[in-house]
A and B are shown apart, each in its own frame.
Chain A
Amino acid sequence: MRAWLPALLRLALLVLLVVFIASPGWFEPLLRPLTENGAPAIYNQGSLLTLTLLHLRTVLVATVAATIVAVALAILVTRPAGAEFLPLSRSLVNIGQTFPPVAVLALAVPAVGFGEKPTLIALFLYGLLPIFENALTALTTLPGNVMEAARGAGMTGWQRLMKVELPLSAPVILGGIRLSVVISLATATIGSTVAAKTLGEVIIAGLISNNLAFVLQGGLIVAALAVLIYDGLSAIERYAARRMGREAE
């Protein structure tokens, strides 16, 4: 019985989330007590469905870009030609992590204007770090005997990378992507302080008009999305790890 309980809970959360986003009106009585002076209980300045989709799109675009750049960089610094960049890239990643997202967002505004672009830049920069870190760990800790065997089998550097190194690293890299997606989902809400169309708009509208129902629904949708996506990516990661014969952490 224990085994299917978490799966059932997740399914219930997913159904609840989809129903809420599709027709939030049904939940109006639940949120009503949180409002004052007859303020609307359900966000009414735009559709929650559209905002959720835009939120997800922003995170997706930023994560895909971050994954490509981070993995390419990790590959570069683990090749003999780029090996001298390895220590520097480590320190840069460390330094990058100290920049607060709000600062990145606000500083990107003069360069690219208000809206979705500064959010994409901030999410991209934030997403880079965990993926790069994990890709680097994976590529530098490959089992020596496997690499030896690949070399012995006469594989070229490119073949080794595509057929041995990357597939073996995939589970750990996926772990980095999962971390980065969860961070981005939450950080994207801050993007609405510079007029990006994300679920943060709902939360900020709530903060401005002192409407807790807005804050709650915006926050809960993002949290539910994060939990579900985190679990989904964990499952993919376990599957990849099993296929590669590496134990998932």
Chain B
Amino acid sequence: MTLRFDKLGVVIAAIVAYAAFAAPFATFRANRIVPGQARSVLEALPAALGTLLLAILIIGGIVALLRTPLVLRLAASVITLAALAILIGVAGGLLTPAGNTFARIAPASGFWLLIFAFTLLLADVLTRLDLSPSARVGVLAVAALAIGALLVSGSWDSLSILKEYASRADSFWAEGSKHITLALGSLAAAVVAGVPLGILCHRVEALRAGVLNVLNIIQTIPSIALFGLLIAPLGWIAAHVPGAAAAGIRGIGTAPAFVALFLYSLLPVVANTVVGLAGVPRAANDAARGMGMTDRQRLFDVEFPLAFPVILTGIRIVLVQNIGLATIAALIGGGGFGVFVFQGVGQTAMDLVLLGAVPTVALAFAAAIILDAVIEMTSTKRRADSE
């Protein structure tokens, strides 16, 4: 039997070799803002555990390097990622001096590179397995449960990002729910307004170019400027329209952020509705007309179901984009995870930045996977139905 190398595996093995032996595994800082001192795998963990981790990493790297069966590669990536996730928590507990509440232990570049390398391996395996949409959501759920279990069990509590969390647990959940409300609420508003507008643009050709051009120009306005520019008109409305202030409309805060996200969301929703409706086969429309369907019936029974996957693609773009953009709302007092990011940047406390950035990325990532699966399910269902 000859050994054959996997091309991606060569890259992964190189990263693993560098990260495991030449890069720091964890950093120790005497308090949250001073520069840290590097700790390698063997310095951060007791000899037995450190050697075990290195052995797992070497085996994982070799499995990646050689052409091995997919099941083996899947097992190697999952086991290695689990070992890394558990042992970084152990290292955090051991490196923190007893009774010291100022010291901060954070995962260092070597740890992140190892996570990156084995996630790459996992992503490659999952891509090659060509999972069904529901299986992909299942994998996401298992990963979320595993991370949730580690968080609840407290094994990561000694790590710096969770120390930041511990001191602001209440505001974390408050800002988190604000973030989600902003992203989902503006999406809902954009769908309610954008889909009819898209149908109108499809039916009335004279409107189409004009509406899409205006929405295109709105997209070119930088987000921080649009957020800022809405302060004045909303402030004016709050002051002059009776009942507006009572309804929560204010110059600064959530209202301008909501309106800005809504405006950004319109273009993908309207444009995809127009594209989706334009892509409805002429034959389908002709057949519907021949059956004596009214315009309204044709819209709801023929055009809309056929255009649905394309409209859903627009919604996916909007949701992922909104989850990211909602971080900027913090600049105008609109809340959301951006609060921690900008506070962290201001205090040069990177753990605080991570506390805001990690949930944002996780939310956007989960939203993308779930919606991709839904899009695939609706479009394969449609194909299956038509056959």
Contacts and interface: CB of A to CB of B under 8 A. Distances in A.
Contact of A94 (B221, B232, B350, B368): B368
B87 to A, nearest CB: 23
Interface string A78-112: 00001011011011101101111111001101100
A203 interface: yes
Q: Is the interface of A mostly helix, strand, loop or mixed?
A: helix
A24 to B, nearest CB: 16
Interface string B311-354: 00000000010011101100110000010011011001010011
A219 B133 CA distance: 41
Contacts of A199: 222
A84 B8 contact: yes
Contacts of B42: none
B289 interface: no
A11 interface: no
A227 B221 CA distance: 9
Interface stretch (B15-23, B142-150, B151-159, B356-364): B356-364
B293 interface: no
B364 A99 contact: yes
B220 interface: yes
Classify chain B: how many residues form its interface, as a range: 35 or more
A212 B220 contact: no
Contacts of B367: 98
Contacts, number: 144
A100 B225 contact: no
Given A100-B360, A222-B225, A84 B7 contact: yes
B222 A189 contact: yes
Interface string B213-249: 0000101111111101101100000000000000000
A185 B220 CA distance: 8
15 contacts: A91-B127, A98-B320, A98-B361, A98-B365, A100-B364, A103-B327, A103-B361, A106-B341, A182-B219, A189-B223, A190-B223, A203-B224, A207-B332, A219-B225, A222-B222
Interface of A: 34, 82, 84-85, 87-88, 90-92, 94-95, 97-103, 106-107, 109-110, 182, 185-187, 189-190, 193-194, 199-200, 203-204, 206-207, 212, 215-216, 218-220, 222-223, 226-227, 230
Given A103-B356, A109-B345, 13 more contacts: A84-B7, A88-B123, A91-B126, A103-B324, A106-B341, A107-B350, A182-B220, A186-B223, A189-B225, A194-B345, A204-B331, A212-B229, A219-B221
